[in-house]
Amino acid sequence: MSEPLANPPAADPRTRRYVLVIAAVALIVAAWGIVARLSARMSLEGAAAQAAIATVTTTKPHAGPGKDLLVLPGSVQAFYEAPIYARTNGYLKVWHTDIGTPVKKGQLLAEIETPEVDQELRQAQADLATAQANYELARTTNVRWQGLLSTESVSQQDADQRAGDAAAKKAAQQSAQANVARLQELESFKRVLAPFDGVVTQRNTDVGALINAGQSAGNALFRVADLHRLRIYVSVPQPYASAIHTGQTAGMVFADHPGKHYEAVVANSSRALDANSRTLQVELQIDNASGELLPGSYAQVSFNLEGVDQSLRIPVNTVLFRTDGLHVAVLDQDHRVHLRTITQGRDFGTEVEVLSGITADDVLVANPPDSIIDGAQVRIAPTPPAQGKAAAGGGTGHSG
């Protein structure tokens, strides 16, 4: 039999210490790696969370200026203007006034030849002479028969017939007289007269032209306009209608008179809004004794409306258009978004009037994204330094 093996020799303490140190270093390296990885993940998540917070610029509502400059287009018309039509048929014999001719009331503008009316008048005068002769005979006969009736030489029936015949002949005479008077009036219409003082602005006929009586398109012989005063018509939008009153002044400028400013006075208004455009028609008047301004012109009319603007205004880039109405994004002290519904008033182009929904102390988000939601956290962008301060800062570095 073989002898049993002896016990193995004990490990060296120095080797064991090396092994423990190596194991500890490995654990430390592994722990550091895990901690670094977790720290990087947390940093990445934090950076992603910070990046997810939108950076916005802000603005605040401001009150209106207390008055508004309202500029509207105006249509200039003559104080009086009328087309002149013929009242009788014929041919134009001669015209006496051309366009631009000043005329007085009753002045002769043109003459018309009316051969048919002349013949009708002569016929009517002949009919009148016949009717007068018939009436005179009937009247004389009636007088005689009334005398015979008093002596009972004729019957009452015969006397009544003669009296009725005289009355009928008198009525026929009066009818003939009326017809002659009518044709004489038509004869007077051969002379076309100016209805008022003014200027001839149109002449639509010439010598020999066929003239038809009555008013129809294209049949006006002349157009006369009174230019001593002008009327300017303006359509004022409904939000400003209540601020317009009689006697109010307005400034006007014309393209054909650059650099000149005119002043007109509100004379009348329609006192009712047009149902289609929701505007109030306003009439202004201006003196034009010099004839400098022309009817038919286009004018820019400026109203200074005092004390009509006490509401708040905000930039149009703060308004959100949603299906349930208009909203703005208001920030609280913690920079969280609160969407508020607003009621819009007038639109000034770059700004809109807000009638309700915000206060003057609210902070609004400018250019809010369409995806912004109520309660979202945002970051306010820093305000860039003013150019004047930057220039002053650069000046401090200058050395003499």
Closest to 132 measured CA to CA, from 180, 176, 182, 183? 176
pTM over 0.75: no
Radius of gyration of the chain (CA): 50
Spans in the chain with pLDDT lower than 50: 1, 387-400
* pLDDT (0 to 100) of residue 307: 55
Residue 333: give its domain's CATH number: 2.40.420.20
Q: Residue 108 domain-assigned?
A: no
Q: How far is the C-alpha of 172 from the C-alpha of 295, rounded, in Å?
A: 52
Domain that holds residue 119: 115-189
Element (H, E) at 281: strand 279-287
* pLDDT (0 to 100) of residue 398: 40
Boundary of a domain, candidates 125, 154, 189: 189
Q: Residue 143 domain-assigned?
A: yes
> What tens digit of pLDDT does each residue of 334-352 get?
888 899 999 887 777 788 8
Q: Residue 80 domain-assigned?
A: no
Q: Residue 30 domain-assigned?
A: no
DSSP 8-state symbol, 316: G
- Collapsing DSSP states into helix, strand and coil, what is residue 273? strand
Q: How far is the C-alpha of 80 from the C-alpha of 110, rounded, in Å?
A: 21
DSSP 8-state symbol, 238: H
3-state DSSP percent of the chain in helix, strand and coil, to 5:
30, 35, 35
- Collapsing DSSP states into helix, strand and coil, what is residue 240? helix
Q: Residue 343 domain-assigned?
A: yes
Q: Residue 217 domain-assigned?
A: no
Q: Residue 71 domain-assigned?
A: no
